[in-house]
């Protein structure tokens, strides 16, 4: 990685998650100079920040791949493009020139590019708070599980009913002394296969319930769960994971004049936005029939880069030839 001031490049990618990293590789495959900016200090986006131990099941060619291993492979692949990484910095403004786009970062760096590709996923994210958990972060309560090892031999309570809650309950069950999943409804948003696996495991599931109190001195010792129509129950717990989702914020990107729909950037079939020389790919995009999967983001990345290549050089072809060709 190179620590630089002002940058001139062919393609600026905003977002260093899986889609952004694959975009960087593909830009190099098309012979483009590429720079990648991300507000996080590490590559890998949400996976690195929140799910490095999670088993990912929907990437072609991998029946199951751990999040950190997927990111490691993507970083190695992207390295073939010799990208300029601008990490721990946020894109703030975008200006159009005659045949270029200038993006200014929050540290004053100006990036001049022939085209911009936005792959920033959901943007900046912050976890939804657990009302009863105020003051307990670092004392037994966490919002994410970057490593399973600290939970070995502990009684763990997982709060939530989505994919993250069930994934973490499933992965923690073999190493924790006990795992209890608490959800405020009796229906779950998680993938049916994962829900079935957790139900068939030793994980205890309490529905129509709320965590109303955390108890302990220096560290968590007990969790009080209030179930609709029943007396509150007290669970022994040394760890609690509040997997209640997160609040997304596209930040300054929302001020650039992009057409958006429910905090997503609208694109056409070539991944073009309504702004000249600005493309988008991955979870941030929206179009009829959109499916938000990593695998889909990879395909959109290739589509965006190939179409951006023609914008940069009108004599180029959208179809690059097969990557297996010599």
Q: In the β-sheet with 285-286, what is the strand arrangement from edge to edge? A: 260-261, 264-266, 285-286
Q: Is 178 annotated as a binding residue?
A: no
Strands 239-242 and 141-142: parallel
Q: What are phi and psi of 115, to 5 degrees?
A: -155, 160
Q: Is 51 annotated as a binding residue?
A: yes
Contact, 190 vs 212, CB < 8 A?
no
Q: Is 100 annotated as a binding residue?
A: no
Instruction: Please list the helix, strand and coil fractions of the chain in percent, rounded to the nearest 5, in that order.
Output: 25, 30, 45
Q: Is 38 annotated as a binding residue?
A: yes
Q: On the CB side of 197, how many CA atoms lie within 13 Å of its CA?
A: 16
Q: Is 125 annotated as a binding residue?
A: yes
Strands 110-118 and 124-127: unpaired
Query: For the chain, what's the residue count?
Result: 326
Helix axes of 294-312 and 18-29: crossing angle, nearest 10 degrees: 40
- Single out the residue of 13, 253, 23 nearest to residue 114, CA to CA: 13
Q: Is 283 annotated as a binding residue?
A: yes
Q: Is 29 annotated as a binding residue?
A: no
Annotated binding site for FAD: 19, 38, 46, 51, 91, 125, 283, 324
Annotated binding site: 19, 38, 46, 51, 91, 125, 283, 324
């Amino acid at each position: 990685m190179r620590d630089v001031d002002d940058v001139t490049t062919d393609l600026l990618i905003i977002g260093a998650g899986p889609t952004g990293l694959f975009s960087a590789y593909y830009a190099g495959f098309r012979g483009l100079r590429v720079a990648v900016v991300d507000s996080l200090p590490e590559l890998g986006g949400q996976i690195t920040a929140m799910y490095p131990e999670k088993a990912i099941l929907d990437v072609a060619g991998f029946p199951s791949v751990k999040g950190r291993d997927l990111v490691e492979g993507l970083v190695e692949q992207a390295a073939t493009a010799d990208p300029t990484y601008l990490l721990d910095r946020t894109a703030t403004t975008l200006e159009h020139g005659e045949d270029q786009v200038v993006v200014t970062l929050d540290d004053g760096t100006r990036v001049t590019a022939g085209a911009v590709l936005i792959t920033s996923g959901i943007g900046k994210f912050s976890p939804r708070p657990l009302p009863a958990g105020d003051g307990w972060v670092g004392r037994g309560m966490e919002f994410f599980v970057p490593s399973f090892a600290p939970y070995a031999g502990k009684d763990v309570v997982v709060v939530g009913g989505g994919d993250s809650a069930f994934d973490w309950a499933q992965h923690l069950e073999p190493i924790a002394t006990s795992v209890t999943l608490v959800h405020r409804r009796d229906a779950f948003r998680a993938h049916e296969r994962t829900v079935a696996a957790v139900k068939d495991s030793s994980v205890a599931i309490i529905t129509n319930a709320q965590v109303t109190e955390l108890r302990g001195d220096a560290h968590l010792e007990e969790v009080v769960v209030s179930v609709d129509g029943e007396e509150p129950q007290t669970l022994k717990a040394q760890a609690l994971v509040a997997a209640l989702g997160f609040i997304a914020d596209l930040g300054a990107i929302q001020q650039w004049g992009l057409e958006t729909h429910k905090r997503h950037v609208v694109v056409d079939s070539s991944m073009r936005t309504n702004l000249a020389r600005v493309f988008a790919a991955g979870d941030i995009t929206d179009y009829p029939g959109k499916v938000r999967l990593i695998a889909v983001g990879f395909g959109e990345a290739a589509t965006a880069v190939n179409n951006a290549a023609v914008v940069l050089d009108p004599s180029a072809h959208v179809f690059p030839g097969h990557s297996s060709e010599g």
